[in-house]
Chain A
Amino acid sequence: MTKVTMSVNGTERSGEVEGRTLLSAFLRDTLGLTGTHVGCDTGQCGACTVHVDGKSVKSCNMFALEADGASVTTIEGMANDDGSLGVIQQAFQDHHGLQCGFCTPGMVMAAAALLKENPKPSEAEVRAWLSGNLCRCTGYHNIVKAILAASGQDVSKEFAA
Chain B
Amino acid sequence: MPADGSIGAPDKRREDVRFLTGKGRYTDDINVNGQLYVHFLRSPVAHGRLNGVDTEAARAMPGVVRVFTGDDFADVGGLPCGWQVTDRHGDPMQEPAHPVLARGKVRHVGDPIAAVVAETLNQARDAAETIEVDIEELPAVIDMKAALADDAPKVHDDLKNNLCFDWGFVEENKAAVEEAFQKAAHVTTLELVNQRLVANPMEPRVAIGDYAAHSDESTLYTTSQNPHVIRLLMGAFVLGIPEHKLRVISPDVGGGFGSKIFHYAEEAFCTFAAKQLRRPVKWTSSRSEAFITDCHGRDHVTTIQLALDAENNFTALRTDTHANMGAYLSTFAPSVPTWLHGVLMAGNYKTPLIYVNVKAVFTNTVPVDAYRGAGRPEATYQLERVIDKAARELGVDPIALRRQNFITQFPYATPVAVEYDTGDYVATMDKLEEIADLSGFEKRLAESKARGKLRGLGVNCYIEACGIAPSNLVGQLGARAGLYESATVRVNATGGLVVMTGSHSHGQGHETAFPQVVAGMIGIDPSMVEIVHGDTANTPMGMGTYGSRSLAVGGSAMVRATEKIIAKAKKIAAHLLEASDGDIELKDGQFTVAGTDKSVAWGDVTLAAYVPHNYPLEDLEPGLEETAFYDPANFTYPAGAYACEVEVDPETGKVTIERFSAADDFGNIINPMIVDGQVHGGIGQGIGQALLEGAVYDENGQLLNGSYMDYTMPRADDVPFYAVDHSCQTPCTHNPLGVKGCGEAGAIGSPPSVVNAVVDALVRAGHDITHIDMPLTPSRVWSAMQG
| A contact set with B: CB distance below 8 Å | 18, 20, 28, 33-42, 44-45, 47, 74-76, 78-79, 85, 89, 92-94, 96, 98-105, 108, 123-124, 126-128, 130-131, 133-145, 158-161
Complex CA–CA separation, A36 to B714 (angstroms): 22
Q: Mark contacts of B1-39 with chain A using CB atoms, 8 A cut-off: 1 yes-contact digit, 0 otherwise.
A: 000000000001101111111111110110000000000
User: What 9 pairs across the A-B complex have the smallest Cβ distances?
Assistant: A35-B22, A139-B684, A102-B254, A101-B19, A100-B507, A44-B708, A99-B507, A159-B721, A40-B287
Q: Select from chain A the residue with minimum beta-carbon distance to B440.
A: A160
Given contacts A39-B203, A89-B20, A130-B715, contact A139 B255 (CB under 8 A): no
| B contact set with A: CB distance below 8 Å | 12-13, 15-26, 28-29, 122, 200-204, 252-255, 257, 286-288, 437, 506-509, 657-660, 673-674, 676-677, 680-685, 687, 707-709, 713-717, 719-723, 746
Given contacts A100-B253, A101-B252, A161-B659, contact A137 B713 (CB under 8 A): no
Q: Select from chain B the residue with minimum beta-carbon distance to A20.
A: B122
Can you give 8 A-B contacts (C-beta < 8 A)? A78-B20, A89-B20, A96-B673, A99-B677, A100-B255, A100-B506, A139-B714, A140-B716
Residues of chain A with a CB closer than 8 A to B682's CB: 139
- Asked if residues A93 and B723 are in contact (CB atoms below 8 Å), the reply is no
- Asked if residues B708 and A98 are in contact (CB atoms below 8 Å), the reply is no
- Asked if residues B203 and A75 are in contact (CB atoms below 8 Å), the reply is no
Residues of chain B with a CB closer than 8 A to A35's CB: 21-24
Q: Which of B657, B658, B723 has the most CB of A within 10 A?
A: B723
Q: Which of A35, A42, A140 has the most CB of B within 10 A?
A: A140
Q: Select from chain B the residue with minimum beta-carbon distance to A130.
A: B716
Q: Choose from A36, A100, A134 the contact partner of B715 (Cβ within 8 Å).
A: A134
Complex CA–CA separation, A131 to B712 (angstroms): 12
Complex CA–CA separation, A47 to B24 (angstroms): 13
Residues of chain B with a CB closer than 8 A to A142's CB: 676-677, 680
Q: Choose from B24, B437, B680, B687 the contact partner of A101 (Cβ within 8 Å).
A: B24
Given contacts A45-B708, A74-B22, A141-B677, 8 further A-B contacts (CB under 8 A): A37-B254, A78-B21, A85-B21, A96-B13, A102-B26, A102-B255, A142-B677, A160-B721
Instruction: Output the least CB separation between B231 and chain A (Å).
Output: 22
Q: Select from chain B the residue with minimum beta-carbon distance to A86.
A: B20
- Asked if residues B681 and A138 are in contact (CB atoms below 8 Å), the reply is yes
- Asked if residues B26 and A98 are in contact (CB atoms below 8 Å), the reply is no
Residues of chain A with a CB closer than 8 A to B122's CB: 18, 20
Residues of chain B with a CB closer than 8 A to A104's CB: 19-20
- Asked if residues B17 and A93 are in contact (CB atoms below 8 Å), the reply is yes
Residues of chain A with a CB closer than 8 A to B508's CB: 99
Q: Select from chain B the residue with minimum beta-carbon distance to A88.
A: B20
Q: Choose from B17, B24, B201, B746 the contact partner of A136 (Cβ within 8 Å).
A: B201
Complex CA–CA separation, A34 to B253 (angstroms): 14
- Asked if residues B677 and A96 are in contact (CB atoms below 8 Å), the reply is yes
Q: Choose from A28, A74, A85, A141 the contact partner of B722 (Cβ within 8 Å).
A: A141
Q: Select from chain B the residue with minimum beta-carbon distance to A44.
A: B708
Q: Select from chain B the residue with minimum beta-carbon distance to A129.
A: B716
- Asked if residues B709 and A44 are in contact (CB atoms below 8 Å), the reply is yes
Q: Select from chain A the residue with minimum beta-carbon distance to B673.
A: A96
Q: Choose from A93, A127, A134 the contact partner of B20 (Cβ within 8 Å).
A: A93
Given contacts A34-B29, A75-B22, A131-B715, contact A141 B257 (CB under 8 A): no
Q: Select from chain A the residue with minimum beta-carbon distance to B707.
A: A42
Residues of chain B with a CB closer than 8 A to A100's CB: 201-203, 252-255, 506-507
Q: Which of A41, A74, A159 has the most CB of B within 10 A?
A: A41
Residues of chain A with a CB closer than 8 A to B683's CB: 139
Instruction: Output the least CB separation between A69 and chain B (Å).
Output: 23
Complex CA–CA separation, A140 to B722 (angstroms): 10
Complex CA–CA separation, A19 to B645 (angstroms): 51
Instruction: Output the least CB separation between A43 and chain B (Å).
Output: 8
- Asked if residues A143 and B19 are in contact (CB atoms below 8 Å), the reply is no
- Asked if residues B708 and A40 are in contact (CB atoms below 8 Å), the reply is yes
Residues of chain B with a CB closer than 8 A to A18's CB: 122
Complex CA–CA separation, A98 to B507 (angstroms): 8
- Asked if residues A108 and B20 are in contact (CB atoms below 8 Å), the reply is yes
Given contacts A96-B676, A130-B716, A144-B721, contact A45 B20 (CB under 8 A): no
Complex CA–CA separation, A142 to B685 (angstroms): 15
Q: Choose from A45, A92, A105, A143 the contact partner of B287 (Cβ within 8 Å).
A: A45
Q: Select from chain A the residue with minimum beta-carbon distance to B717.
A: A127
Q: Choose from A41, A93, A133, A141 the contact partner of B288 (Cβ within 8 Å).
A: A41
Q: Choose from A44, A93, A158 the contact partner of B13 (Cβ within 8 Å).
A: A93
